[in-house]
A and B are shown apart, each in its own frame.
Chain A
C-alpha cells in the first residue's frame, strides 16, 4: 500500500516571502506520479503542479516549484513570492501507474499568507 505523509498541519508565511511544504511517501512502485493540489476555503481542489517519477528535473510552474528526491521519497513544494490568494489547504498526492491510476492523498497542510 502507498502512504503519503505531510508532517506540517499548519504553516504561515508573510506575503512576498518563500515557503516550503514538505511531503514524504512510501511505495515499492518504480513508475508513479506526484502532485500537489490546492484547496482554497470552500472552493474546489485544483492542481498546482505534477512530477513524473522518471524525470530527474524538478517541475516548475511559475511561482511554484518542487524538490523531488526519489531516493529519499520526498516531494516538497516551494512557493515563491507568496500571495494572499495562496492561502489554502495543500495536499500532496501519489499516483501509481497502472489500473485505475489510483490517487493517494496526504492529510494536508493549511497555509496562511499573512499580509
Chain B
C-alpha cells in the first residue's frame, strides 16, 4: 500500500490556460473522489468514480472541468480556461466501495492561477 499519490504537488498557471492533474489511488480501491479545498474551508466534493464510471458530479464542477478514469485505475482532472477563482488545493481520495469505508487522501495539488 503506497497510498494515494497526486501529481504535480504545485501548479502555477496563467488565467486562460488549461491544466491537468493526475491521481493514482490505492491499487485495490475501486472508488476515487476529487475534492477542492480553499483556505479556511473543508474539502468540497467535485466528482467521484466507481471503477471507470463517473457516477456523480457536483454543481461546483462547471463545464470547464472534466475528469476521467479510463481504465479504472488512475484519474485525471482537467480544468480548461482557468480563472483566478479556480485557485485552490485539489484533493484526490480513494476508498473501497463494497461497503462504507473511510476516504484515503493524497497530498493534493495546489493550483495558483495568476
Asked if B102 is at the interface (CB within 8 A of a chain A CB), the reply is yes
**Do A45 and B55 touch across chains, with their CB atoms under 8 A apart?**
no
**Docked complex Cα distance between A101 and B95 (Å):** 10
Given A100-B48, A102-B45, A108-B41, the answer on whether A44 and B102 have CB atoms closer than 8 Å is: no
Asked if B25 is at the interface (CB within 8 A of a chain A CB), the reply is no
**Do B100 and A101 touch across chains, with their CB atoms under 8 A apart?**
yes
Interface size class of A (residues with CB under 8 A): 20 to 34
The interface size of chain B toward A, counting residues with CB under 8 Å, comes to 24
Give which listed residue, A44, A95, A107, A108, contacts B105 with CB less than 8 A: A44
Interface string of B1-30 (1 = CB under 8 A from A): 000100000000000000000000000000
With A44-B108, A102-B45 given, can you name 19 additional A-B contacts, CB distance below 8 Å? A4-B42, A9-B40, A35-B102, A37-B105, A44-B4, A44-B106, A44-B107, A45-B91, A45-B105, A46-B105, A47-B102, A47-B104, A93-B42, A99-B56, A100-B55, A101-B100, A102-B56, A107-B40, A107-B41
Chain A residues packing against B (C-beta within 8 Å): 4, 9, 33, 35, 37, 43-47, 50, 91, 93, 95, 97, 99-108
**Docked complex Cα distance between A16 and B45 (Å):** 35
4 nearest interchain CB pairs? A105-B42, A45-B105, A44-B107, A47-B102
Closest CB of chain A to B94's CB: distance in Å?
12
Asked if B70 is at the interface (CB within 8 A of a chain A CB), the reply is no
List CB contacts (< 8 Å) of B43-62 with chain A.
Answer: 43-45, 48, 55-56
